Amino acid sequence: MQLSIEGVSKAFPGVQALDKVSFELRPGEIQALMGENGAGKSTLIKIITGLYRPDDGRVMIDGQEMSFQSPRDAIAAGIGAVHQERNLIPRFSVGENILLERLPTRNGLLDKDAIHNEARRYLDLLDRGIDTHTEVRSLSVAQMQIVEIAKALSLETKCLLMDEPTASITEHETEALFTLLKRLRDEGASIVFVSHKLEEVFAIADRVTVLRDGKNAALGEPMSTMTRQNLISLMVGREEHIVNKPQRSVDTGVVLEARGLQTSFGHRDISFSLKRGEILGLYGLVGAGRSELARAIVGAAPITGGEVLVNGKTADIRNVHQALNQFRIGYISEDRKNEGLILTHTIRENIAVTIWRRLAGALGLIRPSAELDAVMPYVERLEIRTPSVEQKVGNLSGGNQQKVSVAKWLAANVEILIIDEPTVGIDIKTKAYLHELIHEIAAGGTSVLLISSDMPEMVALADRILVMHDMRLVGEVANDRRYETVSNAIMNRIHAVEEERSTATAG
């Protein structure tokens, strides 16, 4: 299928999301679509899939101009997509989700066997471990992503749009996906691949189109002519990359200590200590239990054994309210849409939520001007790009949303900050900026517990790295900022535990 976009524009209240953008996709190719958060990639994808109608410009398929009124039309025209948002029906089975809009029937009734057999076929291309009868809401995030991809594949369309399909899946699954995409390409399919991970783009794309501020920065350039550096500079307009922060040795008092913690998630014997002004990394694979541990510490989940000490005193933290106001501990959630932000509220309110208590004067009154004064420094310091702090957070790009969820905890001015996957789905520029910031606040005396599965990030920032695997801490690695040695040391710990276990079960 030949898909051409010619001079498409799209405006939202206050933003020109796309400004005369073009894009051209040939049969039998994988083309990367790149750009920072807010550059207009998602808007373009939504236009191609019929969710938005362009204000101006043309969408053509095989030389014919299309005017999609709904996603239905786009699917009928042969365009399948994996969207960035989670698009599954929580209470439906995996099989039903995959075949949702064309469920097979027999005599007018759903043919359950056919559904599961059919869905199985597509799921098997990626992962044999997911049962098609399971309800989607009981799957892990990674499994849901696999289901989304299987769902797009099942349309067997000639054109496939993938918006960050690998954001939450494992390396192994990513490999399987890539093999599959390449096969589809060789069979003549046209594939658009959106990702922030440069490695992946270089590994799979044939050509690349780059958007910057809603305009074309590059149009269908062959990947072979691209280097990492010039791709980044096309996206951000200047050169930028992750810089390791200087190595520090933190030798101060302990502010947070865990002694033999147990939780209802299954954590056993978790002990560690965090010093003042330290960045303590907590590394682990998806499902190791890091976020759950963080939640237990801030009182959002019950602790069933052991104790937490804050500044040397036993702390019985029962909820986040207490963690914030009594113990001055904050937690920046990885799930910013559900836990981190109130999307229907404004930037001002989202940032100020943690400091309302402090701002409230007599009778609990909050002066809006005081609120604004308290919020503005963080909006400016974090360079949150918005026409107004009265903008609803739901209207911001992913990167700016993340900045808001960081800003509100900076505003809270806590002593201990747990930061969970701060840069997932964030563009390179914002990522570098957030790294700078985390380093800065630690230097300012705040203790940071940094949770991340991004190894380069861990190496760049952490002073020490705890390794977590299967609800246990399995080791501590000193960080000398040398990527190879540190990452090897970490992975060795994990492998060693895995081996121990398999010998144990074998024995």
Partner 1 sequence: MADVPVNFFHRQSHMTDETISTERSRRGFFAGASAQIGLFAIVALLWVIFSTLAPGFTSPINLFGIGRSLAVDIVIGFSQMVVLATGGMNLAVGSIGVCAVMLTGFLLQDAGMPIPVALAGGLLLGGALGWLNGFAIVKTGVNAFIITLASASLFLGAMLILSKAVPYNTLPPEVGQFGRMRIWGYVSPLLFIAIAIGAALYVLYRHTLLGRQILAAGANPRAAEMSGVPVGRVIIISHTLSGLLAATAGIMLVARLGAAMPSVGGEDWLLPSFLGPVLGGTLLAGGSVAVIGTMIGAALVTTIRSGLLVLQVGNFWLQLFLGLILLAAVMADRYRGVFLERRSLGRK
Partner 2 sequence: MNSLLRRFLMVEWSGILAAIILGSALLAWLSPAFLTEFNIYVMLRSFCVALLVGFAQMVTLAVGQMNISVGALGGLVAVLAGGMMEKLGVPMILAIPAAIAIGALCGLLNGVLTERTGINGFIITLATASAFTGINLGITQSIPFYNMPPGLVAFGSDRFFAFPYLMIAPIIATILLGLFLSRTVPGRHLLAVGGNPHAAELSGISRGRITILAHTLSGTLAACAAILAVAQLGSAQPTIGSDWLLLSFAAPIIGGAALTGGHVSVLGTTLAVILIALIENGMVLAKVDPYWVQFVLGALILAAVWLNRWRAVKTGTD
What does the alpha-carbon distance between residue 90 and residue 409 come to, in Å, rounded to a whole number? Answer: 31
When CB distances are held under 5 to 8 angstroms depending on the partner's kind, the choice from partner 1, partner 2, none that residue 151 binds is partner 2
State the minimum distance, in angstroms, from the CB of residue 369 to partner 1.
10
Q: Does 123 bind partner 2 (CB under 8 A)?
A: no
Burial of 413 (0-12, 13-18, 19+ CB in 10 A): middle
Q: Which of residues 134-153 bind partner 2 (CB under 8 A)?
A: 151
Q: Which does residue 76 touch among partner 1, partner 2, none (CB within 5 to 8 A, set by kind)?
A: partner 2
Give the one residue of 7, 28, 51, 287 binding partner 2; rule: CB under 8 A. 51
| Strand 29-34, strand 190-194: pairing | parallel
Query: What residue type is 13 in one-letter code?
Result: P
The whole-angstrom separation of Cα 457 and Cα 439 is 12
Shortest gap between Cβ of 31 and partner 2 (angstroms)? 21
Strand bridging mode 472-478 / 464-469: antiparallel
| Residue 445 touches which of partner 2, partner 1, none (Cβ within 5-8 Å per kind) | none
Binding residues for partner 1, rule: CB under 8 A, are 11, 13, 16, 90-91, 137, 298, 300, 319-321, 323-325, 331, 333, 338-346, 349, 352-354, 356-357, 359-360, 363-368, 387-388, 390-392, 408, 412
What residue 72 binds from partner 1, partner 2, none (CB within 5 to 8 A, per partner kind)? partner 2
Residues 316, 128: Cα–Cα separation, whole Å = 43
State the Cα–Cα distance between residues 427 and 374, nearest whole angstrom. 27
Which residue lies nearer to partner 2 by CB, 74 or 231? 74
Q: Binds 367, which of partner 1, partner 2, none (CB < 5 to 8 A, cut-off by type)?
A: partner 1
Rounded to an integer, what distance in angstroms lies between the CA atom of residue 32 and that of residue 26?
Answer: 12
Hey, how many other C-beta atoms are within 10 angstroms of the C-beta on 421? 22
Q: From partner 2, partner 1, none, which one binds at residue 110 (CB under 5 to 8 Å depending on kind)?
A: partner 2
Q: Which tokens go with 381?
A: 């310091």
Q: Which amino acid is at 198?
A: L
CB of 429 to partner 1, least distance (A): 25
Q: Which does 271 bind (CB under 5 to 8 A by kind): partner 1, partner 2, none?
A: none
Helix pair angle (141-154, 171-186), 10° resolution: 10
Cβ nearer to partner 1, comparing 231 with 352: 352
Tell me the C-alpha distance between 304 and 318, whole Å. Answer: 12
C-beta of 102 vs 495, nearer to partner 2: 102
Residues contacting 440, CB < 8 A, separation 6+: none
What are residue 11's DSSP bridge partners? 16
CB of 346 to partner 2, least distance (A): 22
Question: By the criterion CB under 8 A, which residues form the site for partner 2?
Answer: 49, 51, 70-72, 74-76, 81, 83, 85-92, 96, 100-101, 103, 105, 108-110, 151
